[in-house]
Structure 1
Amino acid sequence: MTGRARSGEKPQMPVTFRNRGTAVAVLVSIAGLGLGGCDLDPTSLFAEKYKPEVVADVPADKLYSEGLAKLEDSDYENAVKKFEALDKQYAYSDWSRKALLMTAYSNYQGQKYDDAITASKRYLQRHPASKDAAYAQYLMAMSHYKQIPDVTRDQDRSEKALAGLQELVQKYPTSEYAADAKAKIQITRDQLAGKEMEVGRFYLERRNFPSAINRFRDVVAKYQTTRHAEEALMRITEAYMALGITAEAQNSAAVLGHNFPDSPWYKDAHALLQTGGLEPREEKSSFLSRVYSSVMGRTASAQ
């Protein structure tokens, strides 16, 4: 993803949370409370006037139903209030567990992503073995993912999104959210690679070739399966040619051609070498060669 993260995804609430509970009709009788047995001096300056008030708890299923109704009306702020009240009034019950997850979901839908992250983390801390733990992890990762900025800005959110998505796949590989998480991992890695490429090009334009090479090597080392890897190998060739280190330039061009033979970046790298009377030549023990040998090995073992 170059630029901002895609905005179309809307995680659905778990199936077990979608049916609105039947509201229970409740008759609440509040007895009148009086203060007796104590004679107070009506002339006393310190006589305290106090009127006790008793607030009856709303039945759990009614609060939950009201929260769902607010969600259906896209009134996310008040949905959060209903679920938070449910969590508070029925703490340590199964209603509290449901309310906490729905608080996270309502905040997510209302684009209150930091609040959704907080609620999701609380859910995972309280209920790590719950059947809905994978969904809480997904909500947390997606809340970071939705805040990924363009490549010109700090990529802290991208790093957190990647970590959250990877944790989801590792901990809950068979969950219904794993496939989507894997797709978004690739998008997020592409974003992080794009940031490294931007910095590398900045150094390259200012003829700071060693710093540029380090950035482009990071792209190859960390994000070799992204679309930026081809350009990174070409830029490494370009920087080494500018430094006069032709053997390294030949090697990077050869690795590019070996792994991406039809890439226009390889054509550019080959043409650049030819301006110096050179041809691509791969050194099998080089860092770049070892990176792609490892990638090919992982790909073969996964098949």
Structure 2
Amino acid sequence: MKDKIPAGLWPLLATSDGESMPHSDKLASFSRRYADLVSAYLKKADEEILLAAFRMGNEMVRSSIFIEEFAEIHSQTILKLNADPLLGSRPYMEIMMAYGSAFRAMDERIRNNALIRENYGRLKLALGDTIQAINSVRGTADDSYTTSHQQRVALLACEIAAQLGLEEERVEGLRLAASLHDVGMIQLPQAMLVKGDRLDASEMDVIKAHPQVAYDLLKDIDLPWPVAEITRQHHERINGSGYPFGLPGSEILLEAKIISVADTVEAMVSRRPYRAALDISQALNEIQGGRGTIFDPEVVDICCNLFTDRGFTFIH
């Protein structure tokens, strides 16, 4: 069977009941069970057999099996049972319908994988455009702190996203946005970034321009994710008190909500020119105090859990 399938379609391992097993063994198991189900249903049309077929179809979707492999299992079963696939007997058609969801789901998975591959290709090109856009800005301040801050925010943001169950492709978009969320700072006067005292109101107004600056730098870069808009929204707050637009929570992208929490925590536990680094407990208390008013409550809960129960650390 394997010789009829392109080599690139064969993963080394598949998973069954939480345990890894060779892919060939997985296919052999499916083949035996599929033949048994078809044979049993052809002899006696029974609802329990159909339910078993549905369950097996779902299992096949969750495993590493491909549509081509399922088609090969099916053809081998027809040969083994000496059945004519063109007869279209009702029992035979019914059990095939039980596998219809598996066909559709696997087809969708393949299309999604193709989309992911296409997006990664676009991302490679877009990253070059991003670097060029950033390097085109003149008078750039020393952004060694900003770079480190963005990397650490991206690390925490992606951990939060994983706990939220976001798709891998969407997490990659979040990773890029978090890694660039403060890129607008490069147009700020260096004196503001290294000032030993807190900024006054007029200086804060200048600082608050950085999300829009980031958006303007990134908006024309062809990316598969709304990275420019995420960066522009990362200082918005769900009660409408954020900037630059004062958006309510319903209009803020989830990725921006995640970055806002990760950004707050990382900024508090890092040393700033005007203060020493704070303890993580102080940072967690801060986001808990804004839970449901300033910050998304689910994002806050997951972030706190990462530090208190899952041993997350910025040191990697």
TM over 0.5, yes or no?
A: no
TM norm structure 2: 0.28
TM norm structure 1: 0.29
Higher helix share: 2
- Rg larger in 1 or in 2? 1
Greater relative contact order, per chain length (Cα 8 Å cut-off, separation 6+): 2
